[in-house]
Amino acid sequence: MSVFERKGQVETTIELSLGLSTGIQVMLLYRWPRGVYLDPYQIASLRDQRKWQILIDSAIDLELPAHKTQGFVTYVYPIPEGPTPRINVTIPIHGRYHQPSFEGKTSTSVHIEPPDLLLRSAKCTQFSIFEPDDVINAPCTPDNSSTCSWVKGHSQQVQDPVCLHFPVGDGLLLMPVCAGTLLVTMICCVLLSKYMWKHRIS
């Protein structure tokens, strides 16, 4: 998994090389931390450019800061290409506003775990050998009309978590900044009052 940062936008690129038999459906289950969000409008605008569909488990408020949100889940349904399916999924994500640090830190870290690889077959007998812990219920398709049993699979390459760093304000400067702002405001008010008084009595 690789990360590219540009103008506050982070794009996560995931490449999976899978040897799948005919009739096997693939899904990627992402568990996103509260420090990031997906822009549904941006994703919708990329519909003609991407070869996957996505289902977000809850509504996303684009304006809320990180400490007032919760993590969320997305189900991504990629479309394998070629005789040996190779799945490329690029999901644009954004960092939320984080509270200032009172410990002198200039940034905060957000860790994103690799997605779970889930497989499903129309012939349930193919997955009868798996343990119950390997089977989870999830939406069958992006329209979320019904749920199906999916089996956890394994990609051919090991994926590491992604660590993103977002800048935060310096909370130690809160009092000096407020005091300075108040002082400048009072000086401006005094000067403005003197100016108005001078022109009124002249």
Residue 137: both structure tokens together: 């219920």
> Residue 189: its pLDDT value, please?
92
> Residue 49: its pLDDT value, please?
80
> Residue 184: its pLDDT value, please?
93
> Residue 81: its pLDDT value, please?
62
Q: DSSP labels for 121-159? A: ESSGGGGTTS-GGGEEEEESSTT-S-EEEEEE---SS--
The string of pLDDT tens digits covering residues 55-66 is: 999 999 988 888
pTM (2 d.p.): 0.73
How is the chain split into domains, by residue range?
A: 2-169, 171-202
8 confidence band (pLDDT: 50, 70, 90): very low
The string of pLDDT tens digits covering residues 21-31 is: 556 788 899 99
Please state which architecture CATH assigns to domain 2-169.
Sandwich (2.60)
Mean pLDDT of 153-175: 74
Confirm if 149 and 127 have CB atoms less than 8 A apart: yes
139 confidence band (pLDDT: 50, 70, 90): very high
